[in-house]
Structure 1
Amino acid sequence: MRTRWRAGLAAAAVAFALAGCSAGENGASSTADSAGIAPAVPQQGAGKPGQNKVTPPQPGATDRKLSRSARLELTATKVVDVVAQARGIAQGAGGYTGQESTGDETASLSLAVPADKLDGVLDQLSHLGSSLVKRELNTQDVTEQVVDVEARLATQRASVERIRALLARATSVSEIASVESELTSREATLESLEQQRNSLAGSVAMSTVAMTIHGVAAPPPPGEDHSGFLGGLAGGWQAFLVFGEGLLTVLGAIAPFLLFVVPLGWLGWWLHRRRRTVAPEPMPGASEG
């Protein structure tokens, strides 16, 4: 009798302990819910195979993808020289020259430079030529486009692999033709997405600079200071040179006439002198008679 009573008492104690543990777990769960703490989530490896889904990274969790471009408008006295200097700056920064159209009065060219060197290249290009007319810098955030294309690429690759698996299991000619047609369509979509991904990556890695150069006349040289003794001496010497130049101009103008006037004048002087020599001198006695 005493043994049965002890066994019943032990069973009641165990039941009471289990009830207390259950109440403690429920209370802890309710406390966690009221505090806003999410319950523990099992790791990806603990679930069944095939139930874990790969989600694309959110834009806020990745580095921002920026596509930058710039536009410069300059004036220069020698357009060709500025174009050559701009080409050298781009190549020195690891870039290259795209479209280019150069003339005597105007030129336009497109430069591609690494995105991380764009600011330095713009500073160098802005100091070329005579003056800077306009400088524009455009920045476009393409992070969401990059994330979207990457997610679509992953999905499309998986789709292509599934179609290839179906093609491997196809037995009849009609099944093979149908699956091949679908595979071609999905591969074309995959290739288009890859081209979009490459284009976005290129716009992020390399920045473009569109330059326009207008030709202008060279400014006149600055005037010299003519004050003081040296200034007066220089002015007098300049006046002497002008006078001498004018005198030589006059002599050059009358030189053809001197070719005729000088011989005629000498001939007249010679005849007059000869006439005075031939004429008889009066006798002294004749004047007295």
Structure 2
Amino acid sequence: MKAICFSLAVVTLMACHPRSEKEQESKVTYSDLIVAAADEAPGAQNYLTPPAETDRKLIREARLEMDVASLKNISDSVSVLLRQYQAYASNEAQENQRYDLRKTMTIRVGEAQFEPMMKRLETLATRIVERSVTTQDVTMEYTDLQARLRSKKELEVRYHEILKQAKTVKDMLAIEEQLGTTREEIESMEARFKRMTNLTTYCTLDVVFIQRLQAPPTGFAQEFSVALRNGWRSVMNAVLACVSVWPWAFVGFAVIGFVIRFRKRRMAQVG
């Protein structure tokens, strides 16, 4: 009798055990899977390791302003340097002022060629007016962004795997919403990462070439003479401006005369 009761108890326990596992599985929703996927995705801190000295990411910018003998000759020399150092000019403009001609260029050059190209450009000058160099270390920011981007991509893969297992429309919509948000974050991070990679790969060199045409006035007598000429020019400009609006002045006087005559006639009729 005891043996029979023991057998029945064992069978009952075995029958209850799989049912309890099924009940536990049925309680797990796709929302829980989404949260679990986000929790299981490796964080950025798992990738952050102290960078080696050779792997440092630097943003280097410089400004070089200098006097030159001829802008035409400078343009030819700079074109040769751009080819030699595998650089390129992203912006270029020329401005003609009263006392000088100015040519402004923004040059992008590789980090290894940055210093050599600056030295070669300085040899083209008759006088260095300004020279400044700034260096920004963005190694940790670059590494952190790279790690978070990798983490988001792995999270996107997990969401796709969960989406394949979804059975209802509600679950599919919930997962697709998370996929859309994750994809937007990935695209934003990729744009930032691409821009930072470009800034650390190519250094920015702003160069201003100045060709002096005439020395600016110095001394009280010369400055007084320039002030007189400027004052006379202002008077002439004012006179020309008045003359240029004579048609409107004529129309205005005609309207005013018509209004005065009309009012006089009305007053005469009333009187």
TM-score where L is the length of structure 1? 0.54
Q: Work out whether 1:100 is the aligned partner of 2:92.
A: yes
Q: Work out whether 1:77 is the aligned partner of 2:93.
A: no
Q: Deviations over 1:222-250 (max 9, x none)?
A: xxxxxxxxxxxxxxxxxxxxxxxxxxxxx
Structure 2 partner of 1:187: 183
The one-letter code of the counterpart of 1:204 is: T
The one-letter code of the counterpart of 2:105 is: L
Structure 2 partner of 1:58: 49
Q: For 1:139, which of 123, 135, 160 is the aligned residue?
A: 135
Q: For 1:160, which of 140, 146, 156 is the aligned residue?
A: 156
Structure 2 partner of 1:127: 123
CA contact (8 A) 1:108 1:210 kept: yes
Cα offset, 1:197, TM superposition: 1.9
Q: For 2:78, which of 86, 92, 96 is the aligned residue?
A: 86
Cα offset, 1:109, TM superposition: 0.9
Which structure would you say has the larger Rg? 1
The one-letter code of the counterpart of 1:185 is: T
Give structure 2 stretches of 5+ with no counterpart: 1-39, 216-271
The one-letter code of the counterpart of 2:187 is: E
Q: Deviations over 1:201-237 (max 9, x none)?
A: 2212111110112221499xxxxxxxxxxxxxxxxxx
Q: Count how many residue pairs are aligned between Structure 1 and Structure 2.
A: 170
Partner-residue secondary structure (3-state), 1:211: strand
Q: How does 1:1-289 map to 2 (within 5 A)?
A: 55-61=46-52, 63-104=55-96, 105-217=101-213
Distance in 2, Cα, partners of 1:170 & 1:61: 45
Structure 1 partner of 2:17: none
The one-letter code of the counterpart of 1:154 is: R
Deviates more, 1:132-141 or 1:62-71: 62-71
The one-letter code of the counterpart of 1:59 is: P
Distance in 2, Cα, partners of 1:198 & 1:70: 21
CA contact (8 A) 1:163 1:179 kept: yes
CA contact (8 A) 1:77 1:218 kept: no
Cα gap change, 1:205/1:106 in structure 2, threshold over 3 Å: closer, same or farther?
same
CA contact (8 A) 2:66 2:129 kept: yes
Cα offset, 1:60, TM superposition: 4.7
TM-score where L is the length of structure 2? 0.57
The one-letter code of the counterpart of 2:117 is: V
Cα offset, 1:185, TM superposition: 1.1
- The higher relative CO (CA closer than 8 Å, separation ≥ 6) is in 2
Distance in 2, Cα, partners of 1:97 & 1:137: 18
CA contact (8 A) 2:51 2:139 kept: no
| Identity rate, percent | 22
Structure 2 partner of 1:14: none
Cα offset, 1:174, TM superposition: 2.5
Measured on the aligned residues, the alpha-carbon RMSD in Å equals 2.5
Distance in 2, Cα, partners of 1:157 & 1:126: 46
